[in-house]
Amino acid sequence: MLMLQAQGDDRRLWRALRRTWLPTMVPRRLLLLRGPRRAPRVALTFDDGPDWLTEQYLDMLDKLGLRASFFLIGRQAEAQPDLVRAYLRHGHEVFGHGYSHRRFPTLTEAELQDELARTDALLPPMPLRLVRPPRGALDARTLFRCAHFGYTLALWSLDSLDHRLTDADALLARLRHRPPEGGEILLLHEGQTWTLSALPGIAALLRAQGLVAVPLSELFDHG
């Protein structure tokens, strides 16, 4: 079984595979890693909502004029349907991130189908039928099972590391050291005060790079 998520010392190999083999060998209809490099657009994506900070995230994104895509945990969306509707009112897209946030490779085919279907039933239709595997855990079997169920797996090309860097200044330093480029899919997370505090700096960085933040479906418009 080919594991597409590496750990420890294997992370360098994983990054190399994502830059070379995966973008050319895995069709876009199965796996999204990034958009067109020539496009002056970047997709901001947020995992793990909705939660106690969602409304503050939405208000901040409004103030900054940023639009994004949110990958929601099904059981949290089920408990807070008003927040699911709030994402749409603010002009964002919502997709599934598993119902229970269990790693997809650990699930049987029936369990995976149930996770996808239960979450999908809680979300409105979107221009793309995407799902992001919890914690980015993915193997070849999961990839093709999700495709069989009608989903494209959405990963990312730039990890903000905001799950490890629990300070807004450190997060922004990371992104200044490795700034977003055209077509990037940037991974961020909800429920974190430091990520919320870093959003104005991220917006300024995108402007400096000449990039516009768009939802994922718009990242692929016009090429």
d(CA 188, CA 31): 19
Per-residue pLDDT at 30? 86
Instruction: Return the pLDDT at 28.
Output: 54
Encode the chain (223 residues) as per-residue pLDDT tens digits.
Answer: 334 443 343 444 445 444 544 444 445 578 999 999 998 999 999 999 999 999 999 999 999 999 999 999 999 999 999 999 999 999 999 999 999 999 999 999 999 999 999 999 999 999 999 999 999 999 999 999 999 999 999 999 999 999 999 999 999 999 999 999 999 999 999 999 999 999 999 999 999 999 999 999 999 865 4
Does residue 21 fall inside a structural domain?
Answer: no
Q: Where are the beta strands (DSSP E) in 8-123?
A: 31-32, 41-49, 69-72, 93-96
Is 11 part of any domain? no
Q: What is the CATH number of the domain that holds 180?
A: 3.20.20.370
> Does residue 32 lie within any of the structural domains?
no
Give CA separation, 11 vs 8, 14, 82, in Å: 6, 5, 38
Q: Is residue 183 domain-resident?
A: yes
Q: What confidence score (pLDDT) does residue 26 get?
A: 46
For residue 186, give the DSSP letter. Answer: E
**Is 48 exposed, middle or buried, given 0-12, 13-18 or 19+ CB atoms closer than 10 A?**
buried
CB 119 within 8 A of CB 98: yes
Number of domains in the chain: 1
Range of the domain at 170: 39-219
Q: What is the pLDDT of residue 39?
A: 87
- Residue 130, domain member (yes or no): yes
